[in-house]
Amino acid sequence: MNDKSHTVLEIDGKKTLPLYSLIAKVPEGGIPAMGSAQCDIYYKEPEYAEPEYAFDSLTMKRLEDDVSEAIRYVERWISHVGELHYFFQFKDDPSGDMVCNLQRHTEIISALCDSKLGIDTTPMWTVVRETVFLKEIQARYRREVDPDKVWGQYARELGDVLNRMSDARETARILSQRIVNLLKLRAFEDSDATAVVVPWLESGDTLSSGFVLFYSYSHCDECLRDELERHLSSLKREGLISHWHDRRIEGGEEWKTKIDDGLESAHLILLLVSSDFLASDYCYNIEMKRALERHHAGHARVIPIILRSCDWSAAPFHSIQALPKDGMAVTSWSNQDEAFTDIAKSIRTIVGTSRGSGGTP
């Protein structure tokens, strides 16, 4: 046997195996007898302890006024889904109250996103739909007089649902983190002095009054990016800015998720333009495209910085004022320190003007 350890639960005084976990855990030779040497027995009663959610004007007003409470609602959603998926392995929801509670929870987040963020929450509703399918399949199987006769059909149906659910839950998880990050950003934009902790900043860093810079660049230009970051260090020490780029991603972290989070929550997005940047599908088609969407929506400010000479006259950002002065590439200056100093002074002016007006850069 490949796997001799199986979780067995006693539900309503009756030993039972987790239904959908069997599909992935059935060893060669079939399922071992309960209580045999090949089967470890554990007892754990599934519980549903989620608070009852109310989708009404009072709740929405409270969440719109209290960003911390809104963030808790969003962060709790993934746990709520996981709690239901575990519960439905062993028990049913004959009244449908649990599913309705999840639907109300999702409605609250959807309404919050519509009113404050303009974010599509379809991935969350996909998870809700698949959760209903899971519940129905499990309940139908439990009602069978001879469940062994329909095991094959049950396993196929459940396998299809679980495959869809796995992808949907991961998409919804990424979306929920994006919502949390944007709620924190909005809280920062709405307040002149509120400190907002941002998860991708270095330990101890906060957004007390500084703007987050996101560097979109080709790794071929990493040395020039490092030099630019050094010239901006005075702004960082003064608490005016903080940096984010992909070299901050630690080993084991999901790089695409971290990059997406950094891009979505940045105030200033620096496009470090070169021939390699323009040739990079990821920089050009993903990072730059999303950066310009946020720029045109007024949620962030894009600043093209021309590092090396290249033809960017037809690029989507060509109408945005580029740095350094006159859009002259950094490497074309006789003294590159002067070019970086010009960029640093311009960013200081942009940040200072925005702080004075209390708005987005």
Specify if 43 maps to a domain: no
- Nearest residue to 304 via CA among 294, 314, 318, 290: 318
> What is the domain range of residue 69?
52-134+165-186
The residue that leads in pLDDT, 332 or 164, is: 332
Q: 244 with 341, same domain?
A: yes
- For the whole model, what pTM was predicted? 0.48
Specify if 108 maps to a domain: yes
Specify if 116 maps to a domain: yes
Q: 353 with 236, same domain?
A: yes
Please say if the pLDDT value at position 246 is more than 80: no
Q: 228 with 128, same domain?
A: no
Q: What percent of the chain lies above the pLDDT cut of 70?
A: 73
Q: 109 with 172, same domain?
A: yes
Specify if 194 maps to a domain: no
- Confidence band for 269, pLDDT divided at 50, 70 and 90: very high
Residue 219: which residues within 8 A CB-CB, separation 6 or more?
none
Q: 242 with 287, same domain?
A: yes
Dihedral of CA atoms 254, 258, 260, 264 in degrees, nearest 10, equals 160
Q: 260 with 180, same domain?
A: no
Specify if 30 maps to a domain: no
Specify if 155 maps to a domain: no
Residue 270 tokens, joined:
């620096």
Q: Is the peptide bond before 199 cis (omega within 30 degrees of 0)?
A: no
Taking only the tens place, the pLDDT of each residue in 64-107 is 888 889 999 999 999 999 888 878 877 788 888 999 999 999 99
Please say if the pLDDT value at position 19 is more than 70: no
Lowest mean pLDDT among 33-42, 55-64, 163-172, 271-280: 33-42
Give pLDDT, residue 228: 93
Specify if 2 maps to a domain: no
Give pLDDT, residue 305: 97
Q: 171 with 291, same domain?
A: no
In the chain, the number of structural domains is: 2
Please give the Cα distance from 167 to 345 (Å, whole number).
46
What DSSP letter does each residue of 255-315 carry, written as one string? HHHHHHHHHHH-SEEEEEESHHHHH-HIIIIIIHHHHHHHHHTTSSEEEEEE-S----TTS
CATH of the domain at 235: 3.40.50.10140
Please say if the pLDDT value at position 17 is more than 60: no
Q: 125 with 231, same domain?
A: no
Q: 171 with 268, same domain?
A: no
